[in-house]
A and B are shown apart, each in its own frame.
Chain A
Amino acid sequence: MKPEIIAIMPEASILLGLLIMTLVNFFRHYNTPKTFFTLSKLTLVFALLSTIIFYNRSWFPTVFENTAYTSLFKSIIYLLSLAWAYLSCKWFLNKNISSFSYYGLMLLSVLGMSLAVSSLNFLALFICLQGTFLLNWFFIRIGDEDEEEKHQASNRFLGFAVFFALLFAAGCGLLYMRTGDLEYADIYSHFSHTSKLVWIDYAAAGMILAAMIFMLGLVPFHFWYIDVIGVAVLPVSGFLSIIPLFAYVACITDVVLNAFFPVWNVFRPVVVIFGIMSVGFGVIGANAEQNMRRLFGFSSLYHLGIIILCLSAFDDNSVLSSFIYMLVYVLAMSGVYTGFLGIRSKGVYLSELGTVSGFSEVRPYISAAFLVFLISLISTPPLLGFLGKLSVVNNLVIQGEYEIILFVLLAVLMLAYAYLKVIKALYFDERTNSFDRVDKGVYICLTVNLILVLISILNPKYLMNDVEAMLTTIF
């Protein structure tokens, strides 16, 4: 593929946006949270449009290649970031604190993810993905709530993140030692053509995969995620729950298919066990929680487990099914986090189940939206979640994994029990709190999300056909 300078526009525009944002922060004195949101919005819109326009052009094809597959993931990341940036602004306006660090970190993170998704080289992947992940340390420290707890959590996060970054780096080092190169294609060729692979080869692949699974937050590496979700401010929790998932899954898929596929059979059972553990831990943890954000954090583990179980075969069908599930999950989860922005009492965003009781009495629309998203998350038809369940279970039936299906489907019962606690609190319990007025933006976002959920379930085939064609370009 020929290098094309124009294809650098999405990433360049984000860099430019960051630069302007920094200059505005230093030289303009009357900034409001909206100032940085507006700059981020313009930057992300431009990045999104240029990604769509130059979807198959690459500016440095040996290291970063753009295909329909990468552009699909990048577009989703930009789009979701845009929506979440808009909603986060409401939080900063309410708290009346500077949003510069948040939006700056968000753009930097999006830039890193965007580059990581296009990477064809482990060094580039390490710098972009690991760098993005380490940025979370700054992310967690944003805001003024629960300072002590937050600092402790961020320091714990940093410790583990650095350890796994070193593991990633060591894996890359070992690969380089064995192959003399870090390009995916060369690694693939090494693994497929070397007649006798030694333990160093497996160790290198294992280290890289372990670091990526850690970033994803799959059990047994989930501790950082639950820890962070509980203490970080709402915009950060939402961002970490919704957006990076696409980047991590896109990168893992790319790495496994284009670099480690010849040895994947060695790692697959381990990843499947991690997936099963995530499903199990997720539902148990969700049932034990009284804090809604942590409850949804644990339920994310369940969904993550299902995505990984489905993806583990790494064939065209499993990539498509896991993508559909992921899309459905993210749509519902972003709806849930949008709902969180509407649950406020005396300026404080509520997350304990006991504090939201009887919420439906005063805010029926937000409660109804919550209901739709929760039911969608347990994959009950006729809501969009059913589409995800159908794709995943159908794919697992094709793979003949009947025991896993049974386990997953029974686990959903336990997850449903946890979600019923939320529904019960919102709808059936007596109201004990007064709730603040909800911003129009929250209503707008919820409506858009609900329309998406409704339209996609009524006629999913047109959307899915194009997505399927785009996803196949990874093979």
Chain B
Amino acid sequence: MITSFNFLSTIIAIPFIGVLFALTAKDDDKTRGRNAFNVSVFAVITNLLVLWRIAALLDISATGLQLTERYDWLENPKISISLGIDVFSLLLIVAVHAAVLIGMFGARHNKEDGKALMVFSLLFLCMITGFFTAADIFSFYIFFEAMLLPLFMIIGMFGGLRKQSVLSRFFIYNLLGAIFLFFATVILYNYQGVNIALNDVSKVNLNMKLEIFVWGAIFVSFLSRIPIWPFHYWISSISTGLRNPLVFIITNLVPLTGVYGFIRFWPKTVPGVLSYFMIILEIICVISMLFIALIGLINKDFQYKIFSFMTVWYIIYLLAAFLPTDTVLQNIGYALFSFLIIAGGMEVLSNHMEKQQESLDISSGGILCAMPKAARIFTFFVLAAVGMPLSSMFLNNFVLIANLLDKNIRMGFLVIFAIMVVAAGLLQELYWLKDTECSLPDKSGIADISYKAYVILLIICASLVLTFINPLWFIV
């Protein structure tokens, strides 16, 4: 599709312009970050509208990146920055925007420095949008590493971490991954003499030594973003301490960048030497998945249950990305779209419940009985998360699991077991929250979600149901 307007740079620029406006927004005791919040929401909604326009321009049946843009950036070494988009990346960008928007609404009453949170969130959104639209190795690397700074600041300032060393470790782990990717990128660039398009990376013929090194470096860099051994520690220790829904959502978008990296970079035919490592990786993935799912089941913190739900599914999408077929790629995209929105919705509602609990000093048992609007939405999200036919997760995850079973039946069964454990954990929590036998001391004191939030969440639920009927309903 040829268009004279640079849509892709626009969707990267809008959050950045939002940052500039949010920075200049008045912030005192009276406004309490409301101006920055309004600016940020406006920027995200504007971007969603532009994304809708982009969706209309995309040719769904076409393969490869569309609406491509190119900028000459540097002469020595000669580097051009290219951007492009396909349905898969569009779905991810829209889902990330929707999840961040939900998170922003969820975090708007937090007492912390709202302005800084909005500024860094928009900066993160800008970088992750660039990451999903990167069409060559250099721009891919630039955005891959660039999102670390806003992420670090968001977690550091609003994560409420008790141990600062966890934060440093998080940054160092991720920086290590980015450094490996950078090294591989420069080697690939020098080997070919040009900046390579993302889809052509796997076609580069390297000599044996370089092949091991380059693919090994890429492998480690993406792995560092996914919470599997040996990189599992940082994200679990950070996620469990987060009490701000927006921070939780943004932090849990990090593994998505690793999964996306594998999907975009990783060749379908894995270089010979690395195929041995692939088996090891698959084993590590399955063990990590089972481990996190079981901890999620026994852990009483609902936030950890959401974390374990997200991690298990990220790992499944990663395993699906390694399948030697392109046909599941679209399924991953469709499933991820609903997955991110559902996780965002669950987190915001659980945060709301937790706040009520803390302010009234009550147990969470049966709390949903006192908030019917929240209960309806929360039940919907949990049921959609466990795999009921309420969103695109149902059918597409089914296809992915079928493919995993087809590839390796033992691995497939273990994956199903992990999904069941995670689902059990979520349902157990839902049951506990709706348990009518639990006695709440002061039911009238518990605040339900506002009508405005209820309507917004209902619209989100409706759009999820539409994705079950047609994952691309907003395009057609």
Contacts and interface: CB of A to CB of B under 8 A. Distances in A.
Q: Are these two chains actual partners, yes or no? A: yes
Interface of A: 317, 320, 364, 371, 375, 378, 380-382, 386-387, 389-391, 393-394, 397-398, 402, 405-406, 409-410, 412-413, 416-417, 420, 423-424, 427-428, 459-461, 464-465, 468
B156 A461 contact: no
Interface in B149-197: 149, 152-153, 156-157, 164, 167-168, 171-172, 175-176, 178-179, 182-183, 186-187, 189-190
A229 B187 CA distance: 38
A468 B152 CA distance: 36
A124 to B, nearest CB: 33
30 contacts: A375-B149, A380-B146, A380-B175, A381-B141, A381-B142, A381-B143, A382-B142, A386-B142, A390-B186, A393-B183, A393-B186, A397-B186, A409-B183, A412-B179, A413-B175, A413-B179, A416-B172, A416-B175, A417-B172, A420-B171, A427-B153, A427-B157, A428-B157, A428-B164, A459-B73, A460-B73, A461-B73, A464-B74, A464-B76, A465-B75
A400 B274 CA distance: 23
A317 to B, nearest CB: 8
A288 to B, nearest CB: 15
Contacts, number: 85
The 5 closest A-B pairs by CB, nearest first: A381-B142, A409-B179, A461-B75, A381-B146, A382-B146
Contacts of A409: 179, 182-183
B189 A394 contact: yes
Contacts of A464: 74-76
B28 interface: no
B77 interface: yes
Given A397-B190, A427-B153, A464-B75, A405 B183 contact: yes
A222 to B, nearest CB: 25
Contacts of B187: 397
Given A464-B76, A465-B75, A416 B171 contact: yes
A186 B81 CA distance: 47
Given A428-B164, A461-B72, A461-B75, A406 B183 contact: yes
B116 to A, nearest CB: 8
A390 B73 CA distance: 13
A424 B190 contact: no
Given A402-B213, A428-B156, 10 more contacts: A381-B142, A390-B186, A393-B182, A397-B190, A413-B176, A424-B156, A427-B157, A464-B76, A465-B75, A468-B76
A87 to B, nearest CB: 24
Interface residues of B, number: 34
A99 B442 CA distance: 71
Interface of B: 72-77, 116, 141-143, 145-146, 148-149, 152-153, 156-157, 164, 167-168, 171-172, 175-176, 178-179, 182-183, 186-187, 189-190, 213
A394 B164 contact: no
Contacts of B157: 427-428
A398 B189 CA distance: 11
Contacts of A405: 183
Most chain A beta carbons < 10 A, residue from B171, B175, B179, B183 = B179
B146 to A, nearest CB: 5
Contacts of B77: 390-391, 394
Contacts of A317: 76
Contacts of A410: 179
